Structure 1
């Protein structure tokens, strides 16, 4: 019976981490359903981008209020979770405050953790007020109904409970130290939880131990729950922001990619010595499909983008099409891509890793053509995103499919492309008549 708590703790740890690894494996499989793309160039710049954007949070502070609050929560969670390492080792070996041997350094660490925990609580309350009392417009767009809205609040409640459990555990521990309870040596510094201690002054040692142990168990169980909840939450960006910023685009924002097969075709047309009727070479690149109509037509980097989306809505709030009442929301584009990818992954799970056509696709079933053609391709969404997500790349690939596979561009665009093909310019004038306007008196 002496080792029963340790056995239970190890079992809980194995279950929690095992479930997390399973989810990460599923996540990796889903992302790599996308087409392969080379992103190995200029690694030094990629490392700099990751350090600056993901670690340094430079794009978050463009909006100072949200940025500073986010940095508090971000730094708080990273540093406070150093304390989780001590909890894990204590749980495995049956010790109590194993790192107390660090002496004054330990006192400083615990004090720092407590101050950060308090700041996280303040930031979480501020975020909740912005969502539910101030009701910022970008949190109430059509795509933010249902689960996305609940998820935004639920994650705040989880963070709040974890911080309160941490402070409650420390307060009960500190009171037990003051009472000279067995195993509770006078270690650590408690500048915040010290204010909670008066709530426990009338409790017996056994009751205090119950409170301290309950908070300890609930705190570590809550951490494991939070870890596994990430897969189902927009907060997956906590993990994916780093690879996403590393693999973010390095080319100028206004530069669009060329299809190699189309480029070769144009070069051949411009080469007077080329035979237009020649049989294509064996190594000629002929894509199975131009553009994208479903998630498997996108690259794995674009699918990583979709999973990294924080649903913060900065892209949508900056989008000129959205501001003028158009249906387009860059945030929805990424959320729809992720939802469709999850649907595809679910079908594969149900069929032993094999995808069976369900009669649906990303185009039309999730993202409408009206949304795609509303985009002005201004790149405001990419500029605004704090973690380098590129909704425009998805939009352009789907437009490419509509134009090159279905000839389904809007009438005005079809007219323009026809004029370019026939007249060498977007206007419906014969080349010989193009300068007639200059002769008019």
Structure 2
């Protein structure tokens, strides 16, 4: 019977990790749909940024309540992975608390006690998160882009984490009472279970306790496998992607925009008095497709921007500080990232169905993001500064603006007037250069 349990456990682990690997491959493939970008410079700074932001959670605590609660859940998630290692070994080889023999009784007692305390803190944190998100009336959690699945997803994650921790404590309590009754070898220290839960389990028989322990054990490991594969469909994918996202983040000053190489070459050509504007450069490919300015779909964005979309936590900190959104305009930087991710997934499903991308007649602009949203942006970088994992919604907005202006000559009338003035008067105002100093004559 024990062997059958081990075999079932092995199959569950193989299926769970296999499906998870498949999801990661799809995400990687979808991110590679974007343009290549070199973000491997200054590696020491990138390692430091990743350690500080993704691992150290330094930007989360700028909002202390949410930051502290998030750190509790985050630390619990990391530490409990060590417990998952023990469950994997016990499940595959039929052992009982394998790490006790590796750590020794004293260190193992400290280890299990730490896990218990963290599990209780995680339960408290997710309950407070649930109340805060659903009943506290925080504006950024009540915005229309969170209606439907995004809100349900956030709540389901909290429910799953709560259930996993309850199963963990039930497993520990049953195990502890079985140890006290002499049915299992004595390993570990369980401060919460022994002082709070164990009295409710003392009157159960050994057989009943074994059923409780095994049921909670199986629920816990299968729940972890389910949670792991649920990440693909959830905003909680940032648990994994926050690390590469912070590594590949922009190290240049936030206000510095990237210039288009094609435009830079054109300007240099215009400023060279000896250049032939009609001569093709010697390295030009006569069969090459003319370069598109800006982006109207995900294929025109770079791979880091697509990684940003997948990494978005939907926390809404960006939108809550956006001056355009605060003043009632349609722009929500969070929605920009969510819409970009939706379009990536739409393209990914198209590829899964057809083996390659077949034009579906849709684009990121208009079908997902309206020009009105794009032009509401003030390019103040508040959203970039607020993001706890260094996502850059502004870069996507700027690329879409470039497309509208340079490919479709579509811009608000005020902007068209300004550009006409710059072209004709070398300044944004409607004054001839010769008349520019007339105000001083008075």
Q: In the alignment, which residue of structure 1 is the partner of 2:66?
A: 66
Structure 1 residue 280: Cα displacement = 3.6
Structure 1 residue 272: Cα displacement = 2.3
Query: TM-score, normalized by length of structure 1?
Result: 0.97
Query: TM-score, normalized by length of structure 2?
Result: 0.97
Q: In the alignment, which residue of structure 2 is the partner of 1:367?
A: 369
Q: Aligned match of 1:423 in 418, 422, 425?
A: 425
Going from structure 1 to structure 2, the CA distance change for 1:351 and 1:277 (only over 3 Å counts) comes to: closer
Cα-Cα RMSD? 1.2
Map 1:390-409 onto structure 2 (within 5 A): 390-409=392-411
Which moved further from structure 2: 100-109 or 204-213? 100-109
1:2 & 1:223 partners in 2: Cα distance? 22
Deviations 1:283-330 (A, max 9, x none): 489852100000111001000000000000000001011011010000
1:369 & 1:117 partners in 2: Cα distance? 47
Q: Match of 2:191, SS?
A: coil
Q: Match of 2:338, SS?
A: helix
Going from structure 1 to structure 2, the CA distance change for 1:85 and 1:420 (only over 3 Å counts) comes to: same
Tell me, yes or no, if structure 1 residue 18 matches structure 2 residue 15: no
2:316 & 2:290 partners in 1: Cα distance? 34
Deviations 1:376-408 (A, max 9, x none): 000000100000000000000000000000000
Tell me, yes or no, if structure 1 residue 290 matches structure 2 residue 290: no
Tell me, yes or no, if structure 1 residue 150 matches structure 2 residue 152: yes
1:2 & 1:241 partners in 2: Cα distance? 40
2:317 & 2:189 partners in 1: Cα distance? 40
Q: Contact (CA 8 Å) 1:30, 1:345: kept in 2 or not? A: yes
1:53 & 1:265 partners in 2: Cα distance? 39
1:225 & 1:371 partners in 2: Cα distance? 37
Structure 1 residue 61: Cα displacement = 0.5
Q: In the alignment, which residue of structure 1 is the partner of 2:307?
A: 304
Query: Can you give the 5+ residue segments of structure 1 that lack an aligned partner in the other structure?
Result: none
Q: In the alignment, which residue of structure 2 is the partner of 1:238?
A: 239
Q: Aligned match of 1:163 in 162, 165, 170?
A: 165
Q: Contact (CA 8 Å) 1:321, 1:375: kept in 2 or not? A: yes
Structure 1 residue 435: Cα displacement = 1.9
Structure 1 residue 438: Cα displacement = 2.3
Q: Contact (CA 8 Å) 2:2, 2:94: kept in 1 or not? A: no
Q: In the alignment, which residue of structure 1 is the partner of 2:273?
A: 272
Q: Match of 2:366, SS?
A: helix
Q: In the alignment, which residue of structure 2 is the partner of 1:315?
A: 318
Deviations 1:153-183 (A, max 9, x none): 00000000000100000000111111111xx
1:99 & 1:435 partners in 2: Cα distance? 82
Q: In the alignment, which residue of structure 2 is the partner of 1:37?
A: 37
2:289 & 2:380 partners in 1: Cα distance? 30
Q: Contact (CA 8 Å) 1:261, 1:286: kept in 2 or not? A: no
Q: Contact (CA 8 Å) 1:261, 1:287: kept in 2 or not? A: no
Deviations 1:172-215 (A, max 9, x none): 0111111111xx11111010112111221221110110000000
Query: Can you give the 5+ residue segments of structure 2 that lack an aligned partner in the other structure?
Result: none
1:279 & 1:289 partners in 2: Cα distance? 18
Map 1:18-417 onto structure 2 (within 5 A): 18-101=18-101, 102-181=104-183, 184-194=184-194, 195-283=196-284, 288-352=291-355, 354-417=356-419
Going from structure 1 to structure 2, the CA distance change for 1:269 and 1:21 (only over 3 Å counts) comes to: same
1:240 & 1:330 partners in 2: Cα distance? 19
1:70 & 1:337 partners in 2: Cα distance? 26
1:2 & 1:431 partners in 2: Cα distance? 90
Deviations 1:329-354 (A, max 9, x none): 000000000000000000000012x0
Structure 1 residue 276: Cα displacement = 2.8
Structure 1 residue 282: Cα displacement = 3.0
1:386 & 1:235 partners in 2: Cα distance? 14
Q: Contact (CA 8 Å) 1:107, 1:188: kept in 2 or not? A: yes
1:217 & 1:403 partners in 2: Cα distance? 58
Q: Match of 2:188, SS?
A: coil
Q: Contact (CA 8 Å) 1:121, 1:160: kept in 2 or not? A: yes
Q: Contact (CA 8 Å) 1:315, 1:385: kept in 2 or not? A: yes
1:290 & 1:259 partners in 2: Cα distance? 8
2:153 & 2:29 partners in 1: Cα distance? 24
